[in-house]
Amino acid sequence: MQANPGQKAAIETRGRALVVEAGAGTGKTRVLVERFVHLLVANPDWPLESIIAITFTKKAAREMRTRLRQAIEERAKKEGAASIWAARRRELERLQVSTIHSLCARILRENAISAGIDPGFEAIEEAEMQVLQEEAVRQAFNELVDEDSPGLELLAGLNIKEVREELARLIGRRGTVQRLFDALEDQDGLLQKWRAGLESMRQALWQEQLANEDVARALNETAYLGVPDGDDKLKDIVLAAQQGCAAARNEDILTACNLWSSIALVGGR
């Protein structure tokens, strides 16, 4: 490849850590392959497995491995059967090119006794991981309900779907999250602060709604609706709506929302 100055520096720089940033399709994989080969050229006594190349996806790892094979085979053909490259071509299966997960799994298997794990473990696939994360989040919500946790009051003011998605993301970074929580001096105090912040946000949103003329008019008019007599199906609906309006005027937003959400209107002729 004809490398530009930036790529050439990325390929040939040695003796220090190096970060390469570039957009999609700009030749990052080619640069990595050339850097890999350059290190082998500069260190003829290095075996193939002395360099480890890792990436995020299996597809990218396969692509990098294929390109490295091609580069090594081309050099072996060019320099002849007696060259170090011919020897390396015979050892292509020793290339250490894999995903981060595969590398970690290999290290753990090689040190299973020290790590205290079964060496026969398998890395979980992403699809299965997502299912388990969703199940963990569901169980957490169920425990909150079963324990009548004070956290339910906080959840009531949030979009449950968004909370589920955020919890799933946090599970994926649970190590970092745990370290952050362990570093907190007063977790109970933080919870109280979050509660106060949620209540403040809820009140601000409610005041914004009250400033809407249509909402204010609906609240006032609903209070004066006539309540149907007897077994009229609208009776419970009107009562729930009026009770919700009364709670809203008293700034009991949670009660108001619960009453309004209990109303089930079904269209018909």
Instruction: Assess whether 30 and 106 both reside in one domain.
Output: yes
Question: What six digits make up the tokens of 245?
Answer: 């309006």
Q: How far apart are CA 75 and CA 109, in angstroms?
A: 34
Instruction: Assess whether 40 and 82 both reside in one domain.
Output: yes
Q: Domain for residue 195, yes or no?
A: no
Q: Which of 89, 115, 141 is the last residue of a domain?
A: 115
In this predicted structure, the answer to whether residue 143 has a pLDDT above a threshold of 90 is no
Specify the pTM: 0.51
Instruction: Assess whether 142 and 211 both reside in one domain.
Output: no
Instruction: List pLDDT tens digits, range 33-66.
Output: 899 999 999 998 998 899 999 888 888 899 999 9
Q: Domain for residue 120, yes or no?
A: no
Q: Domain for residue 142, yes or no?
A: yes
pLDDT computed for residue 186 by the predictor: 76
pLDDT computed for residue 227 by the predictor: 74
Instruction: Assess whether 173 and 225 both reside in one domain.
Output: no
Instruction: Assess whether 165 and 94 both reside in one domain.
Output: no
Q: Domain for residue 121, yes or no?
A: no
pLDDT computed for residue 230 by the predictor: 67
Nearest 10 degrees: CA dihedral of 127, 128, 134, 138? 160
Q: What is the mean pLDDT of the chain?
A: 83
Q: Residue 268 — pLDDT band, cuts 50, 70, 90? A: very low
How much of the chain exceeds pLDDT 90, in percent? Answer: 13
Q: Residue 108 — pLDDT band, cuts 50, 70, 90? A: very high
Instruction: Assess whether 170 and 250 both reside in one domain.
Output: no
State the residue range of the domain holding 241: 207-261
Helix/strand/coil (H, E, C) string of the chain?
A: CCCCHHHHHHHHCCCCCCCCCCCCCCCHHHHHHHHHHHHHHHCCCCCHHHCEEEECCHHHHHHHHHHHHHHHHHHHHHHCCCCHHHHHHCCHHHCEEEEHHHHHHHHHHHCHHHHCCCCCCCCCCHHHHHHHHHHHHHHHHHHHHHCCCCHHHHHHCCCHHHHHHHHHHHHHCHHHHHHHHHCCCCHHHHHHHHHHHHHHHHHHHHHHHHCCHHHHHHHHHHHCCCCCCCCCCHHHHHHHHHHHHHHHHCCCHHHHHHHHHCCCCCCCC
Q: How far apart are CA 32 and CA 19, in angstroms?
A: 11
Instruction: Assess whether 145 and 172 both reside in one domain.
Output: yes
Q: Domain for residue 96, yes or no?
A: yes
In this predicted structure, the answer to whether residue 183 has a pLDDT above a threshold of 90 is no
Q: List Cβ neighbours of 263 (8 Å cut-off, separation of 6 or more).
A: 237, 240, 241
Instruction: Assess whether 111 and 23 both reside in one domain.
Output: yes
Q: Domain for residue 80, yes or no?
A: yes
What is the mean predicted confidence (pLDDT) over 219-223? Answer: 75
Instruction: Assess whether 14 and 106 both reside in one domain.
Output: yes
Q: How far apart are CA 103 and CA 52, in angstroms?
A: 9
pLDDT computed for residue 129 by the predictor: 84
Residues in the chain: 269
What is the mean predicted confidence (pLDDT) over 109-130? Answer: 88
Q: Residue 267 — pLDDT band, cuts 50, 70, 90? A: low
Instruction: Assess whether 139 and 228 both reside in one domain.
Output: no
CA 218 to centroid of chain Cα atoms: 41
pLDDT computed for residue 269 by the predictor: 42
Evaluate whether 168 touches 137 at the Cβ level (below 8 Å).
yes
Q: Tell me which of 262 and 46 has the higher pLDDT.
A: 46
pLDDT computed for residue 107 by the predictor: 92
Q: Which of 83, 115, 147 is the last residue of a domain?
A: 115
Q: Domain for residue 137, yes or no?
A: yes
What is the mean predicted confidence (pLDDT) over 200-206? Answer: 80
Sign of CA dihedral 114, 116, 119, 122: negative
Cα R_g (the chain), whole angstroms: 31
Evaluate whether 38 touches 11 at the Cβ level (below 8 Å).
yes
pLDDT computed for residue 226 by the predictor: 78
Q: Tell me which of 213 and 54 has the higher pLDDT.
A: 54
How, if at all, do strands 52-55 and 96-99 pair? parallel
Q: Which of 115, 145, 164 is the last residue of a domain?
A: 115
Q: Domain for residue 62, yes or no?
A: yes
Instruction: Report the domain count for the chain.
Output: 3
Instruction: Assess whether 179 and 105 both reside in one domain.
Output: no
CATH code of the domain containing 28: 3.40.50.300
Instruction: Assess whether 25 and 90 both reside in one domain.
Output: yes
